[in-house]
Amino acid sequence: MSNPLTGLFLTFAAFFVALKLKEKFKSPLIDPMLISAALIVVIMSVFHISYSDYMIGAGFISFLIVPATVALVVPFYKNLDVFLKYRKYILVGSIIGALVSMISVVLIGKLFSIDRQVLISLVPKSITTALAVPTSQQYGGMASVTTFAVVVTGSTGAILSDRIFNFLKIENHVAK
């Protein structure tokens, strides 16, 4: 890939297509992040574009991930009283959720004999991209696999969470 703007164009084009699909079908199951990520992976595979080549252009967008993650502090701060009131439950639930996520990835990976590098790339899938990618890379994981796993995990959670809460009859906003 000779033009560094190819990754940037590919990202915007894939997201535009995903938004149009969401607009046309109006289904909560159509998640633009998930669809655009899948489109990018397919296009990169078909045209043999390496992740590092893609990131030359897409890096213009990815540098915004850290500030966007930091911006999550604003709603957290606005709800600080709720966090402080329920801090034990939130922290215990978060720790248990993180452990279950990581352990289930390792167990499923071992069960299906998934390559160690891929397994390392999948373990941090349930945290933000800004934290997951460097964590994965620090232990020998692949940034491309980790990034895709974070997008799939986040999108799946966004798509299914309300249905799961309704099925389990969970109505408390703190529990959600």
Q: What is the pLDDT of residues 45-54, one digit of tens each?
A: 999 988 888 8
Query: Hey, what's the torsion of the CAs at 5, 11, 16, 19, to 10 degrees?
Result: -170
User: Kindly report the CA angle at 121 between 120 and 126, in degrees rounded to 5?
Assistant: 105
Q: How far apart are CA 86 and CA 26, in angstroms?
A: 36
* Same domain, yes or no: 167 and 94: yes
Interval 54-73: pLDDT, tens: 888 888 887 788 888 888 88
* Same domain, yes or no: 54 and 80: no
Domain span at residue 134?
A: 73-176
Q: How many domains does the chain have?
A: 2
Q: What is the pLDDT of residue 1?
A: 53
* Same domain, yes or no: 86 and 151: yes
* Same domain, yes or no: 96 and 41: no
* Same domain, yes or no: 85 and 10: no
Q: Is 21 inside any structural domain?
A: yes
* Same domain, yes or no: 7 and 51: yes
Q: What is the mean pLDDT of each run of 10 residues along the chain (176 residues)?
A: 80 95 89 91 92 85 82 90 94 93 95 96 92 95 92 90 93 87
* Same domain, yes or no: 58 and 114: no
* Same domain, yes or no: 37 and 95: no
* Same domain, yes or no: 44 and 113: no
Token pair for 165: 């809460």
Q: How far apart are CA 80 and CA 140, in angstroms?
A: 36
* Same domain, yes or no: 153 and 172: yes
Q: What is the pLDDT of residue 16?
A: 96
DSSP code string of 5-57 = HHHHHHHHHHHHHHHHHHHHH--TT--HHHHHHHHHHHHHHHTT--HHHHHHH
